[in-house]
A and B are shown apart, each in its own frame.
Chain A
Amino acid sequence: MHLDHSHDGPAAVSADARRADGSRRALRIGLGGPVGSGKTATVAALCRALREELSLAVVTNDIYTREDAEFLLREAVLPPERITAVETGACPHTAIRDDISANLEAVEDLEDEVGPLDLILVESGGDNLTATFSKGLVDAQIFVIDVAGGDDIPRKGGPGVTTADLLVVNKTDLAPYVGSDLGRMAADAKAQRAELPVVFQSLRSEPGVSDVAAWVRTRLAAWTA
């Protein structure tokens, strides 16, 4: 898409690893998944787990409100200047995949205003099973589903479940109450994803988000290596 552009002009145009001043930009990780699966709760838990060791910021893509951004602000997981809400015109999947310009501006402005940053989490508003992030926007993506949304979601597959760099099956504590078979979900996910990793987590009890946080640390180590 860059044709023969030499990138000597101002500001990177898309996924360039270097910023205009030549420094390495922050690693960008996207979090997507259906409505109510626990994306914002996972982002909040990741911020709490990582904020002492990393300089991080969050971009939210709400569907029609600033609810997700306001939840993060209320929970005080990060200072307000490190949280930016992008408005998506009712279509988060457009803003994270088909037309990523508003999100790119949000991540670049965060780096300018509160940087240098190690990590930016880009959260999508709840969307359908085909909503994935553009490679022009994020370096890796996490797809979050939950046991209460139906234990057949891993079997159904779709781009989110099949191709995300990490699949998180959230709310495992609810499995006995909603009749979800975690073993079956794990086997179906394995069949869909081959060697790609899957994490089962409950944020209600230990170890909470620590497996996902460890995965993020590994990605960051690879990014800065």
Chain B
Amino acid sequence: MSRAALLVLADGRFPAGGHAHSGGAEAAVKAGRVTGAASLEDFCRGRLHTAGRVAAALAAAAVLGVDPVELDAAADARTPSPALRTAARKLGRQLTRAARATWPSDELDALAREFPKGAHQPVVLGLTARAAGLGAVDAAYCAAYESVSGPASATVRLLSLDPFEATGVLARLAPELDRVADRAVEDARCVVDEGADALPAASAPLLEIGAEVHAGWGVRLFAS
């Protein structure tokens, strides 16, 4: 494997559509729950240990060869909000395109055939990591990091937050990211043995509710 491939995949400029999504930050800012660096950190920590943890386990399980159709159904079951399911599939479709162009593989072609409108993004992320020759822990890191880097960069735009402060938030979360990624790989190994029910189902009700409210707005900066 090439460790440098991880940098390509994890780069915020990887063209897979993430720039148009705030990971729930726009709804949280509007509701007054994120007002600066401290509350952004709280928000990101909550997202990391819920949506981030589930996404990391899904991605790691996909790298370990668990059936993506089974994983996609498990992701649906762990995403109550229809708006979030739609966003996850849109991002999954966009990542599928970018991944097929970047790391062509039969598995990614098969995924595109199976899910022409997109599978859940973390599942696609796992198969992308596989195609790039990366391991389960790499995919878990990507998913966990995306779960906090998206809201952090969106908040810079939404609040005109000092970008150094936003980056400091991410740096302070790094030790927790390590733990979430490691745990996700353990979870994924359980999924290989026991099936998709072994995936974590940590949920963040406010993220789900906020996504539904956000989807109804007439004016917004971000798609989700």
Contact = CB atoms under 8 A, between A and B. Distances in A.
Interface in A53-101: 63-66, 87-91, 94-95, 98-101
A190 B90 CA distance: 43
Contacts of B98: 101
B190 interface: no
B47 interface: no
A5 B219 contact: no
A192 B187 CA distance: 60
A1 B101 contact: yes
A98 B95 CA distance: 14
A89 B222 contact: yes
A197 to B, nearest CB: 31
B112 A89 contact: no
A105 interface: yes
A14 B100 CA distance: 10
Nearest to A134: B15
Given A64-B219, A65-B219, A101 B104 contact: no
A99 B102 contact: no
A112 to B, nearest CB: 9
Interface residues of B, number: 32
A24 to B, nearest CB: 20
Contacts, number: 87
- Which secondary structure dominates where chain B touches chain A? helix
A11 interface: yes
A9 interface: yes
A10 B116 contact: yes
Nearest to B101: A13
Contacts of B104: 2-5
A126 to B, nearest CB: 15
A64 B109 contact: no
B195 interface: no
A87 B222 contact: yes
A2 B20 CA distance: 24
Q: Interface residues of A toward B: which range? A: 20 to 34
Contact of A10 (B17, B21, B112): B112
Nearest to A61: B20
Contacts of A14: 97, 101
Interface in B88-124: 90, 93-95, 97-98, 100-102, 104, 108-109, 112-113, 116
Contacts of A167: none
A198 interface: no
Contacts of A11: 97, 112, 116
Contact of B112 (A4, A9, A101): A9
B22 interface: yes
A102 B20 contact: yes
Interface of A: 1-5, 8-11, 13-14, 63-66, 87-91, 94-95, 98-102, 104-105
Interface of B: 13, 15-22, 90, 93-95, 97-98, 100-102, 104, 108-109, 112-113, 116, 154, 157, 218-223
30 contacts: A1-B101, A2-B101, A2-B104, A3-B102, A3-B104, A4-B104, A5-B100, A5-B104, A9-B108, A10-B109, A10-B113, A10-B116, A64-B220, A64-B221, A65-B218, A87-B222, A87-B223, A88-B19, A89-B19, A89-B21, A89-B22, A98-B19, A99-B16, A101-B15, A101-B16, A101-B17, A101-B94, A101-B95, A102-B90, A104-B97
The 7 closest A-B pairs by CB, nearest first: A9-B109, A89-B20, A101-B94, A87-B223, A99-B15, A5-B104, A90-B221
